[in-house]
A and B are shown apart, each in its own frame.
Chain A
Amino acid sequence: MTITLPEDFTTLCSIYQIKPDVFIQSFVNQVSFPHFYSRPHAPDRWATFFFLNFIDIEDAKCEVNDDLEDEYLTKFTDAISQHFYPNHYDEAKAEEVGRVVMRQWMKAAMADRAKYITENL
């Protein structure tokens, strides 16, 4: 896997003395649905916004099972909102249950893809 670093990016990295890999690492660390949706007012949500924008714009390039997406995103939102009370709002717990649903979604998506392959043999 190789990434091309464009001029403007490397220029900025040089000026501010940031190692490109450190920067990219901190970016990907922020890409998280459980974190994003459990902390609506956190300042570190930009990377996930970027991700959401990406799947919005580059829709054709992302191959996702829409039915599974609907099912698991709804489950995900329900799970998180269980911990969304005005008075005792448990961010960590919300993030945790959200992550559990995301893992289930990934498993379901993998199983769905495998099914597609075996059916076409």
Chain B
Amino acid sequence: MERPHTMIFYLDENSAITLTKDFCVICELQNCYPKEFLEYFMGRVSIADVQARAGLKFKEQNFPFNFFLGVAREFGRPATEGSDLTDMQIEFYQRMEELSLEIYNIRDLQERTAILRDFYLTYHHNINQS
């Protein structure tokens, strides 16, 4: 298997991800491509998956998501923010709480994740339209 020689991934013409040598070395040792690793990692970052698991009392945690959240909070916005929510946001948060309780009767992890993913995607589309 041929290894990529470069330490830089180009996302498009203007942006690229620079990987450290340490990361590239450990990928080499574990016999996986950095691209595969990053794709897998980012593919696991899913709030739908986390909520679906939590309700089913799964012991197995979603570590990529926990890591993502830790980083996001660490470098995130100041804590004072969040006092002026729009009606749509309030409705979204209310529905989010309801939905995570309501799907208690769905015991299949895939199905739960699909419902939650659909809900978050719909909200995502809505905020991008307005």
Interface residues of A (CB under 8 A from B): 33, 37, 49, 52-53, 55-56, 59, 66, 69-70, 73-74, 76-77
Contacts and interface: CB of A to CB of B under 8 A. Distances in A.
A69 B57 CA distance: 12
Nearest to A69: B107
26 contacts: A33-B105, A37-B105, A49-B98, A49-B101, A49-B102, A52-B101, A52-B102, A52-B104, A53-B101, A56-B55, A56-B101, A56-B104, A59-B57, A66-B57, A69-B107, A70-B107, A73-B104, A73-B105, A73-B106, A73-B107, A74-B107, A74-B108, A76-B105, A77-B105, A77-B106, A77-B107
A35 to B, nearest CB: 13
Contacts, number: 27
A42 to B, nearest CB: 12
Nearest to A33: B105
B41 to A, nearest CB: 29
A63 B102 CA distance: 20
Nearest to A77: B105
Contacts of A69: 107
Contacts of B108: 74
B49 to A, nearest CB: 17
Grouping DSSP codes into helix (H, G, I), strand (E, B) and loop, the B interface class, with mixed when no group exceeds half, is: helix
Interface residues of B, number: 10
Given A59-B57, A73-B104, 4 more contacts: A52-B102, A52-B104, A66-B57, A73-B106
Contacts of A74: 107-108
Nearest first, the 8 closest Cβ-Cβ pairs linking A and B are: A52-B101, A70-B107, A77-B105, A73-B105, A74-B107, A52-B104, A73-B107, A49-B101
A38 to B, nearest CB: 11
Nearest to B108: A74
Contacts of A37: 105
A103 to B, nearest CB: 16
Contacts of B104: 52, 55-56, 73
Interface string B102-121: 10111110000000000000
A84 B102 CA distance: 17
Contacts of B55: 56
Contacts of B101: 49, 52-53, 56
A58 to B, nearest CB: 13
